[in-house]
Amino acid sequence: MSCIRSKNTEPELVFRKELRSRGLVKYRLHPKTLPGRPDVYFYSKKLAIFINGCFWHRCPYCKPSMPKAHKTFWAKKFAANVARDKRKRAELKKLGIKSVVFWECQIKKNAPKLVVRLRKVLSSRKKVSGKSAV
């Protein structure tokens, strides 16, 4: 498991490439000061984006299968991952930061559609500190 990347994964790179192609470039990557270190963070809009892998974060859409060996270990591991994700998003909410989760399977299926959805969310968010994110 030590070889599993947490940053710059394939779905994350595909999503960021789509963001750039749509002109959404004023964001930070993995800010250390925020709970959960979102994959993408729009400071001026206070919007955190998490790009979750389906297997590790237990996607509710594609419902990945459970490993056949060491079932109790994996069940505890996945439950802890899901609980941590929920806790970190709640911490962001307390700070007044909206969070959005995009799943690996969604990005593989239609990344441009997700970025269009994201643009709508960004345009509906009020500016913070007088700067525009888009």
What is the full per-residue pLDDT of the chain (134 aa) written as tens digits?
A: 555 667 888 999 999 999 999 999 889 999 999 999 999 999 999 999 999 999 989 999 999 999 999 999 999 999 999 999 999 999 999 999 999 999 999 999 999 999 998 988 888 866 654 443 33
Q: Mapping DSSP to helix (H, G, I), strand (E, B) and coil, where does residue 3 land?
A: coil
All structural domains of the chain, each given as residue ranges with its CATH number in brackets, are 10-122 (3.40.960.10)
| Token duo for residue 75 | 């069940």
Output the pTM of the full model: 0.85
**DSSP secondary structure string for all residues of 71-119:** HHHHHHHHHHHHHHHHHHHHHHHHTT-EEEEEEHHHHHHHHHHHHHHHH
Enumerate residues 6+ apart whose C-beta is below 8 A from 96. Answer: 46
